[in-house]
Structure 1
């Protein structure tokens, strides 16, 4: 597996950057909506990022602090969406943010699947741990999709 060490380091650091932005967004959503469900989701997403860091350490992959900072900054810049409200928060923002979280979780699951595949060739990767991470990503996807559908109804369906 040493042949692809450089490419794997780039790949894992790209996922770490995304995870960093995802953690920031998840914590912000949990805080803004004062939701126990979102708080639990944010905690799980933080734990997933921590798991990625442990995997990177086990594989001898160094963190690219520039990419991590870019992931953090990207989440901050993502707040500057023009959703029809200049000085206040648009109800549409929650829908967009849940969709962004859902896409992030799908990307994270793809990363876990990649590592699961590589575990056949590298004993430093624990297949059982990766199975657990994949299952948690699927549960997160289901939660986010349910919350997104609720938000879509609240924003786009007007009660008469």
Structure 2
């Protein structure tokens, strides 16, 4: 394993932690809405993906950078303070932005699994990791959230403040 792979894995773990936290927040913010079930499912699966990723790091001998993972959680928390048109509640823009960022992260995760499988050669050295299944799961997650993103976009951009 190269130092570059270790750096890459830690950077990607930090991003996975950030998306996990965002998915959990989006699920909480959408409690009681039609999107709640899909967001809860995706948040749960992203948590599982982070654990799979940690297992890959462990099996490749890469130590987890607590600094990067902690910074990712902090960045997600700071992101909550961005102006969204409301002070004490979730705005339609926040709902849309959360879903948009989640879908971007899921699409990036598909690329990550492909990179690990092919470019890093982990498909061969870790044959029990179902990289194809992880890519398919990410596709399904994205497909599951896209209709809710579109609905949230219409609610955010077609209403007056």
Fold match, TM over 0.5?
yes
Q: Aligned-pair distance for 1:88?
A: 3.8
Question: Structure 2 CA distance, aligned partners of 1:97 and 1:121?
Answer: 31
Partner of 2:12: 15
Partner of 1:101: 102
Gaps of 5+ in 1: none
Question: Structure 2 CA distance, aligned partners of 1:26 and 1:121?
Answer: 27
Question: Structure 2 CA distance, aligned partners of 1:102 and 1:87?
Answer: 25
Matches within 5 A, 1:108-127: 108-118=109-119, 120=121, 123-126=124-127
- 3-state SS of the aligned residue for 1:97? helix
Gaps of 5+ in 2: none
TM score, norm. by length of structure 2: 0.88
- The answer as to whether partners of 1:59 and 1:124 remain within 8 angstroms in 2 is no
Q: Does 1:6 align with 2:7?
A: no
Q: Aligned-pair distance for 1:122?
A: 6.6
What is the number of residues matched between the two proteins? 155
- 3-state SS of the aligned residue for 1:44? helix
- 3-state SS of the aligned residue for 1:80? coil
